[in-house]
């Protein structure tokens, strides 16, 4: 049996915006990265370092200018727009700083939304959404709208939504940026429990206390990626 490929692998990945023009910006330079199944990785960096570009490429929200990106063994360059959309739907759950919840929808309805795009039969949607809410400890808030929830609860709803299609990877962009320190710790503890359950977690952050929850930290600087090292066991806390 051949060994399982890494969930994420980039080889000499590069990204240039407006190439050949006076406005040219080299956002990524020859990035090599491997993320194994079940790993918890933090990507750190200052504003303009390239970490957001890296997140967009890993999330198949953008395409590289050079190099190779393999997601669970699939060369993303071989996919058309529909193929990349399907890959995002099946392989990646997104969590954002601003929660991105629909204000007029209940927590349950927000969590069910990706199932509509996935073509899941109507009868299966609500049970699956309730199970996802239970995973993040919000079974008793299913009927509440975002305005009726705290920031931490809204982020839990967003994480439940990211989990609903059971993707192997959770990709979180500054997931605690809008939360106080105590709530941030609760959300990071939730990510650790999800990792223990088999999920791969990649968090984009500029906060060291958040990164300290990861098994491994890499740092982006001027479009280049630098290994900071492994932290497990015990991590950086």
Quote the distance between the C-alpha of residue 121 and its chain's center: 26
Asked if residue 93 has a cis previous peptide bond (ω within 30° of 0), the answer is: no
The C-alpha atoms of residue 157 and residue 153 are separated, in whole angstroms, by 6
Per-residue pLDDT tens digits of the chain, which is 237 residues long: 567 889 999 999 999 999 989 999 999 999 999 999 999 999 999 888 999 999 999 999 999 999 999 999 999 999 999 999 999 989 999 998 888 999 999 999 999 999 988 889 999 999 999 999 999 999 999 999 999 999 999 999 999 999 999 999 999 999 998 899 999 999 999 999 999 999 999 999 988 999 999 999 999 999 999 987 666 555 654
In the chain, the domains with their CATH numbers are 38-51+86-227 (3.40.50.300)
Question: Can you give the pTM of this predicted structure?
Answer: 0.90
Quote the distance between the C-alpha of residue 102 and its chain's center: 19
């Amino acid at each position: 049996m051949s060994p399982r490929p890494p969930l994420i692998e980039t080889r000499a990945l590069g990204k240039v915006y407006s190439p050949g023009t006076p406005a040219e910006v080299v956002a990524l330079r020859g990035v090599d990265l491997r993320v194994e199944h079940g790993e918890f990785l933090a990507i750190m960096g200052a504003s303009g370092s390239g970490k957001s570009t890296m997140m967009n490429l890993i999330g198949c929200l953008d395409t590289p200018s050079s190099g190779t990106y393999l997601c669970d063994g699939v060369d993303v360059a071989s996919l058309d727009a529909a193929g990349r959309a399907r890959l995002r739907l099946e392989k990646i759950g997104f969590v954002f700083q601003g929660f991105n919840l629909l204000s007029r929808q209940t927590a349950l309805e927000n969590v069910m939304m990706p199932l509509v795009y996935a073509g899941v039969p109507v009868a299966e949607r609500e049970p699956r959404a309730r199970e996802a809410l239970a995973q993040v400890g919000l079974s008793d808030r299913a009927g509440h709208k975002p305005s009726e929830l705290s920031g931490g609860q809204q982020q839990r709803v967003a994480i439940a939504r990211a989990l609903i299609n059971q993707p192997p990877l959770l990709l979180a962009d500054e997931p605690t940026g809008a939360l106080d320190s105590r709530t941030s710790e609760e959300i990071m503890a939730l990510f650790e429990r999800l990792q223990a359950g088999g999920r791969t977690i990649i968090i984009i952050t500029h906060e060291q206390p958040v990164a300290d929850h990861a098994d491994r930290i890499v740092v982006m600087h001027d479009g280049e990626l630098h290994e900071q090292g492994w932290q497990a066991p015990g991590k950086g806390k």
